[in-house]
Structure 1
Amino acid sequence: MRAYRRAHDRAARATYLLPRSETAPRRARQLTAAYLTEECGERISADQVADALLVVSELVTNATRHGRGDCRLRLSVADGEVVVEVHDSSPVQPRLRRPDSLAEGGRGIAMVRELSHRFSVLGGPGGGKTVQAVLAC
């Protein structure tokens, strides 16, 4: 786990390596809450923290469930935006599914896109991808 710091000992950006496990989403939520409420050096509203926690939970769940190996969570706050990035080594893009009221899952990416000011999937070296969600503060 690494956090990049700037003046006043506040983290401008934090990067965390999470294992591929069922506990990774919970740990990611804990790290995100601590970063946004104590470490980022910006004032983030409770609603914005709640939205970020939902986004982080969904993206880390997808990365650990469908990706290969560990995933990397990167958080940053700048210019009134919270940026959540989750990288995994799988090249498979997340899919939007048709809404199915009987399905237990499959609504997460739609929810992330709805909560995000901007949403993108970026290819990475070595065939992996980074899913980025930008939330307005």
Structure 2
Amino acid sequence: MVIPLMKQAEDEHGTDEHAPLRFGAAWAAVAARAGDARQALHTFLTHAPHAGRTAVPASLAMDAGLVISELVTNAIVHAPGPCGMALQLSGEELAITVWDTSTEKPVVRKRDRHRVGGHGLRLVHAVSDRVAVAHRARGKQITAYLRLTPSSDASAGPFGRDTAGAVSRPAASPA
């Protein structure tokens, strides 16, 4: 069941202002659409300042839209059954988690400018600070973390994200 953001805001009124803002949604096997996930993300990020959180910069919101589109599309195309997403916004980062029923570990494919498709996970790694893959009882979840503040790291990319080797590093698995 999806709880509208405004209802969540009413329920959380008066909570710790430093607590992360969260939203989640789940879809049946044939009901998932990347457009719905992007719309939910947009609503979530638009609502953040009204919930006492810092506004997310437009460039980061665009990157987050790309991440959610790619991860949900991969879940739709490569995994049978239901899927879902969870969004978490803290003072430091936005975490985008997508879960599905496939047990296959996602693989970043080699760059091939002649191939149609198969570039999504490479893009997710390129715009995220880090990407983690965790196994679930039935399937897996992929979480992309996008830092809200620019990095002071010398290897950081144009928006403060680490792009040095981002697409060639494997997705991390929890210990």
* TM-score (structure 2 length as normaliser): 0.71
Q: Higher helix fraction: Structure 1 or Structure 2?
A: 1
Residue 12 in structure 1 maps to residue 18 in structure 2: no
Give the aligned residue type for 1:132.
T
**CA distance in structure 2 between the aligned counterparts of 1:8 and 1:136, rounded to whole angstroms:** 26
Instruction: Give CA deviations for 1:5-57 in whole Å, capped at 9, x if unaligned.
Output: 52359982100113444861011001100101124732111111101000000
Give the aligned length: 136
Of structures 1 and 2, the one scoring higher in RCO (CA 8 A, sep 6+) is 1
Q: How much does 1:135 deviate?
A: 0.3
Q: How much does 1:99 deviate?
A: 1.0
Moved >6 Å (runs of 4+): none
Residue 55 to residue 84, structure 1, CA distance change in 2 (3 Å): same
**CA distance in structure 2 between the aligned counterparts of 1:91 and 1:116, rounded to whole angstroms:** 23
For residues 48-87 of structure 1, the aligned pairs below 5 Å read 48-87=60-99
Structure 1: gaps of 5 or more residues: none
User: CA RMSD for the aligned pairs?
Assistant: 2.2
**CA distance in structure 1 between the aligned counterparts of 2:147 and 2:57, rounded to whole angstroms:** 11
**CA distance in structure 1 between the aligned counterparts of 2:113 and 2:21, rounded to whole angstroms:** 40
More displaced 10-residue stretch of structure 1: 1-10 or 70-79: 1-10
* TM-score (structure 1 length as normaliser): 0.89
**CA distance in structure 2 between the aligned counterparts of 1:8 and 1:31, rounded to whole angstroms:** 23
Instruction: Give CA deviations for 1:92-129 in whole Å, capped at 9, x if unaligned.
Output: 11111111111111111111011111111000113x10
Residue 103 in structure 1 maps to residue 115 in structure 2: yes
Structure 2: gaps of 5 or more residues: 149-175
Give the fraction of aligned pairs with identical amino acids, expressed as a percent.
29
Q: Higher strand fraction: Structure 1 or Structure 2?
A: 1
Partner of 1:130: 141
